[in-house]
Amino acid sequence: MQVPLYNQSGEKIGTTELPDAIFKIEPNQPVMHQAMVRQLANARQGNADTKTRAEVAGGGAKPWKQKGTGRARQGSTRSPQWRHGGIVFGPTPRSYNQDMPKKMRRLALRSALSAKAAEDQIRVVEGIQFDVPKTKLVEEMLSAMAVTSSALILVGAANPVMQKSANNIADVKTLDARYLNVRDLLRHDYVILPLDAVQVIESYLG
């Protein structure tokens, strides 16, 4: 598919070709949803822990004799109904990790990219290379390309100057194209793609 090509000043300098197999497929909504849920679940620590009556310190002695006091029989002050007692059915450390086949994960990425392309929310840039970190340069570039809300800027290789330039802009994130994921794609309205990032994406999604 043909899309406009911009320079880092945000000016149109021509057109470029994006592979249809990545940017022009029918988005698979269920697979995108599953990939999003999987990523959020895998980010959970799962280390919340409570103690059962067997794990709480104390409570070894019977608080009073079994009969004759007029009170209900009790065997331990660490029973769940007591203050400082154990917790019934509380959380224990567990893993929330979900598996997903590689083909489905890649289909989810292609679907998200195709949805962005269909909504004209992808901006392809010839290259982004600043001499010094300067936030204003990134703001001017995004404004010239009519990026009016949150944006995900992908880079094909490590670009610390670019990252420092974009760090102070609200709702703008810089990400290595090798680590492209569904959550970042869906959480940002626009995707800024330098040509070297397109090549990286094509290398594993093409």
Residues 56 and 151 in one domain: no
* For residue 162, pLDDT beyond 90: no
2 bridge partner residues: 17
* For residue 57, pLDDT beyond 90: yes
Residues 80 and 129 in one domain: no
The pLDDT assigned to 44 comes to 94
Domain boundary among 61, 95, 129: 95
* For residue 79, pLDDT beyond 90: yes
Give the three-state DSSP class for 195.
helix
- Regarding beta strands 190-194 and 12-17, do their DSSP bridges make them parallel or antiparallel, or are they unpaired? unpaired
Share of the chain above pLDDT 70, in %: 100
Residues 199 and 112 in one domain: yes
Domain boundary among 54, 69, 95: 95
Burial class (CB within 10 angstroms; exposed 0-12, middle 13-18, buried 19+) of 184: middle
> How many domains does the chain contain in total?
2
Residues 77 and 172 in one domain: no
* For residue 175, pLDDT beyond 90: yes
CB atoms within 10 A of CB 198: 23
Measured CA to CA, the distance from residue 164 to residue 124 in angstroms comes to 21
Domain range for 195? 2-44+98-205
Domain boundary among 78, 95, 112: 95
The domain that holds 182 is classified in CATH as: 3.40.1370.10
Size of the chain in residues: 206
Residues 139 and 128 in one domain: yes
pTM above 0.85, yes or no: no
User: What would the pLDDT profile of 86-135 be if each residue is shown by its tens digit?
Assistant: 999 999 999 999 999 999 999 999 999 999 999 999 999 998 888 889 99
